[in-house]
Structure 1
C-alpha cells in the first residue's frame, strides 16, 4: 500500500502492526546469532505464535545459542521490480520445555528439509521494525 508520503519518499517505515502482519504471512526467514566470536546466519522455517517466533531445530548451534541466551536478529524480505520490504525482529532465543512444544504443532508440515528436528526454539522479540522501499530500477533488466 502506497501512502502520500511514499510517493515522494522512496523509504517508508512500517508500523509494528504491518510488521507482524508480514511476519504472519511468511514462513521462511534468516536467523542471525553470535556464538563466542563467530556470527552465524541460517535459513529457518518459522511460525508466529502470540507475538513470538517458533521454529524446530536439531541439536547444534541454534540450540546452543538458545541455551546461551544469545542476542539474535531474524529477517524476512520481499521484492519485485517496483517495490520491496524488509522486517527485522531482534531478541533472544529460548528452548521450549517439553510441555510447551505443542505450541509448534502447526510447524509439523512446514520444514523444507526432512531432517529430524525434535527441539522447539522461541525467539522472543524485544524490537520489531520494518521498511518499505519504492524502487526506481528504470530500464534495468535481469540477466
Structure 2
C-alpha cells in the first residue's frame, strides 16, 4: 500500500498535510530511528506501527534503550518509492519513552506490532510526535532549460 498521491500542476513536489503524513506512516512498517547522545548521532532501522497519533516499536535491551533513557528527543523517518512514478518521505520529531504500565503494555500487545527479527524484544517504545512533515516527489523528465 502506498500513500495517496496525484500529479498536480503545482509542480513535482507536494507537501503533505498532517493527515496525509499519517496515512503514509500507516502504509509502511519500516522506518529509521535517529538518536543523539553526547554528540554522537545514530540511525537504526526499526519496524514500527503507527497507531492513534503515535509510533510504536519493539526493542531488546541495548544501545537504543540506553540512548533513549539518556535523551528522549528523537527523529523518525519513513520513505517509499514507486519506481518511475513518485516517492515520498515523512519525518517525525518527537519524544520517546518505554511503555511501563501493565495497561499500556497490554494495549500495545493487542496491536499488530511484531518484530521481523526472531529475537525476544520485551520493550515497547512509544514515540509521541511534536512535529510531523511529509512530502511527495513526482518523478519525470528534467524540466526544459
- How high is the TM-score relative to the length of structure 2? 0.85
Residue number among 132, 137, 140 corresponding to 1:136 in the alignment: 140
Residue number among 92, 95, 111 corresponding to 1:92 in the alignment: 95
Alpha-carbon distance between aligned partners in 2 of 1:124 and 1:19, rounded to the nearest angstrom? 14
Residue number among 123, 127, 131 corresponding to 1:123 in the alignment: 127
Segments of 4+ in structure 1 off by > 2 A?
none
- How high is the TM-score relative to the length of structure 1? 0.86
Partner of 2:59: 57
Alpha-carbon distance between aligned partners in 2 of 1:61 and 1:18, rounded to the nearest angstrom? 32
Cα RMSD of the aligned pairs, angstroms, is: 1.7
Residue number among 67, 72, 84 corresponding to 2:69 in the alignment: 67
Q: Residue 37 of structure 2 contacts residue 71 of structure 2 at CA under 8 Å; is this kept in 1?
A: no
Q: Give ranges in structure 1 of 5+ residues lacking alignment.
A: 139-143
Q: Following superposition of structure 1 onto structure 2, how do residues 10-89 of structure 1 map, counting pairs within 5 Å?
A: 10-79=12-81, 80-89=83-92
Q: Residue 54 of structure 2 contacts residue 127 of structure 2 at CA under 8 Å; is this kept in 1?
A: yes
